[in-house]
Chains A and B, each alone.
Chain A
């Protein structure tokens, strides 16, 4: 298996509803990634694009082919990936595998979404399509409802009074807002830095006990990365970031995960694959961009990833152990909560952030000093698509 590096990354601002098409958004992120890689579109051998709901958002299917043509990657294979919110991470992981196998030497991978453009009603309806349409949707399941039920289950499982848990969860949102407020590409750039526990708990109720500030926003945006084999990467950049470990897993409807809930078993399997491949342990990870679609999701994720013991992640946030300078810097980008969650692009946005962090290229207020090893964690549905990647400095 060949070593595979990220050579360049690109990203639009993640935002609320905006007027660019998905093709236009993806093309902007892709051209930034290609240009930063010192490449031309003709150098790209294949293009893998995460896109979940373009059919619903703007009546556009097969966005990957139009995007490839739009940026002058003519007649190359172009694949679309759909694994709900983990789509772009699936695309990047498959690009990694194709390059590692030696079949391609340069692949562009990323994703795009216009979830905010859809508006809350249609976005809520279509996001619910990542639950079981026959056996769960009739009960009126929504994505906030899935994580709301996991919150109550978490409180019951670990015997944490609900009010205390909600206050711990508020700390997750506060930390994310703090970092997002100084990230110019974040949806909440310049906003919500003054968030308090009282404001989080007092905002309007979405699905008990999750309030608006426990939930990530609907977002528009795109992100892309160029992956290359080691020999190509060394010619293109002095700062190749190697993908040293990846894992991916799947699972069925929420009820069928009952042997493990509130743990997400597919994450434990996926992350262990990534750790084993990279030959590192949770304590070796300097920063992690993880899937905080809801505040409770951060607690559940950090425990399954091995950063904190089960039932203790909330305390870790209270003590600052999940912040920059703590045991593990979680979501220095602002995460899905504050950077935003354009679902088809989210995983590529996470890789963008980790690469920028390892290269020391982010705003000083949110730079993890000396970071050498970073990790991504992307969850589609309630675990049905789960991807982890470990990235390390190559210089």
Chain B
């Protein structure tokens, strides 16, 4: 059975600031990041849809100790965003001072852009991630 939406196509769309997901034809739930089956009911009967990419911050952290190869990026803020469409996705938060990130961020509404991680020797190529900013 073929995947409806693979990483390569998800990634290409994200680089254009388009967040692709999967809508279940059986239960209506939205699944993102893409998987073979619906995250709620495990049905493989899903169609590719474009999501708005808007949502609210549920949690966050500012990273001060980096992985090898990413030392130049610190400090940076990671957020888990609950999309208006339901699922939670991970991204970075732009437009704030990472060192000042606090609990006040929780619940704040965000919109989505993107930023590309160019990849390293382990990653089998690049990968874009959502780059959120406060609205």
Contact = CB atoms under 8 A, between A and B. Distances in A.
B59 A142 contact: no
A279 interface: no
Contacts of B76: 140
A200 B66 CA distance: 21
Contacts of A206: 64-65
Given A132-B33, A255-B90, A256-B39, A207 B123 contact: no
Interface in A87-142: 120-122, 124-125, 128-129, 132-142
Interface in B96-120: 101, 103, 106, 115-117, 120
24 contacts: A121-B69, A124-B68, A125-B70, A133-B127, A135-B33, A136-B90, A138-B117, A138-B128, A139-B117, A140-B78, A140-B117, A144-B61, A148-B63, A149-B78, A152-B106, A162-B103, A204-B64, A207-B61, A207-B64, A254-B88, A254-B90, A255-B33, A255-B88, A256-B88
B12 interface: no
Interface of A: 120-122, 124-125, 128-129, 132-142, 144-145, 148-153, 155-156, 162, 204-210, 252-256, 258
B129 A153 contact: no
A128 B68 CA distance: 11
User: Which 6 A-B residue pairings sit nearest by Cβ, starting from the closest?
Assistant: A121-B68, A148-B61, A138-B117, A125-B67, A138-B129, A138-B127
Contacts of A145: 61, 63, 78
A125 B122 contact: yes
B31 to A, nearest CB: 9
A134 B127 contact: yes
Contact of A207 (B65, B69, B82, B87): B65
Nearest to B128: A138
A138 B130 CA distance: 9
B87 A144 contact: no
Contacts of A135: 7, 33, 89-90, 127, 129
Contact of A156 (B63, B103, B123): B103
A129 B120 CA distance: 12
A130 to B, nearest CB: 12
Contacts of B11: 134
Interface of B: 7, 11, 33, 35, 39, 58-71, 73, 76, 78, 80, 82, 87-92, 101, 103, 106, 115-117, 120, 122-124, 127-130
B103 A139 contact: no
Contacts of A204: 64
A153 B79 CA distance: 11
Highest count of chain A CB atoms <10 Å: which of B69, B90, B128, B129: B90
Contacts of A254: 80, 88, 90
A254 B91 CA distance: 12
B109 to A, nearest CB: 16
Given A121-B71, A208-B101, A137 B65 contact: no
Nearest to A139: B129
Nearest to B82: A258
B32 to A, nearest CB: 9
B117 A149 contact: no
Contacts of B64: 204-208
A223 B52 CA distance: 50
A206 B129 CA distance: 22
Given A135-B127, A258-B88, 12 more contacts: A122-B68, A125-B68, A129-B122, A135-B7, A138-B127, A140-B66, A140-B67, A148-B61, A149-B61, A152-B103, A255-B80, A256-B88
Given A134-B7, A254-B80, A258-B82, A140 B73 contact: yes
A138 B115 CA distance: 9
Contacts of A255: 33, 80, 87-90
B90 A139 contact: yes
Contacts of A138: 115-117, 127-129
B71 A139 contact: no
A178 to B, nearest CB: 26
A155 B115 CA distance: 29
B91 to A, nearest CB: 5
Contacts of A136: 90
B60 A152 contact: yes
Contacts of B127: 133-135, 137-138
Contact of A150 (B35, B59, B71, B130): B59
Highest count of chain B CB atoms <10 Å: which of A122, A138, A141: A138
A142 B90 contact: no
A318 to B, nearest CB: 21
